[in-house]
């Protein structure tokens, strides 16, 4: 689940073992352009579901460049994560 960024867009490495209990922050930005969830290739619904299955109760950082009103987009991204996690 935890991906260690290697410095290239969309390239990551998966560590051994289950890092979820040790992870206190998951940064989020879609690829390829680092905009809000739902604007690129990543299925964030699956990520949110997996974090919920793992009982992850720490932060998800919304580190993206919004296309539009940043407050509305951040609220929508947060609501999507909460909706999926609670479903």
Tell me the per-residue pLDDT of 3-28, one tens digit each, with 9 for 90 and over.
444 343 444 444 455 555 556 677 77
Check whether 73 has a pLDDT greater than 50. yes
Beta strand pairing call for 59-62 and 25-28: parallel
pTM, whole model, 2 decimals? 0.63
- Closest Cα partner for 69 from 46, 41, 36, 44? 36
Neighbours of 25 (CB within 10 A): 9
First to last CA, the chain: 20
Give the three-class secondary structure for 83.
helix
**Predicted pLDDT at 10:** 46
pLDDT of residue 8: 38
**If pLDDT is split at 50, 70 and 90, which confidence band does 78 have?**
confident
Both tokens assigned to 68? 């539009």
């Amino acid at each position: 689940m935890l991906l260690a960024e290697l410095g290239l867009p969309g390239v990551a490495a998966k560590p051994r073992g289950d890092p979820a209990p040790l992870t206190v922050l998951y940064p989020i930005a879609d690829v390829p352009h680092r905009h809000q969830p739902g604007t690129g290739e990543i299925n964030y619904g699956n990520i949110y579901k997996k974090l919920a299955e793992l009982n992850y109760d720490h932060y998800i950082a919304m580190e993206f460049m919004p296309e539009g009103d940043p407050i509305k987009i951040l609220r929508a991204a947060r609501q999507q994560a909460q909706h999926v996690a609670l479903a």
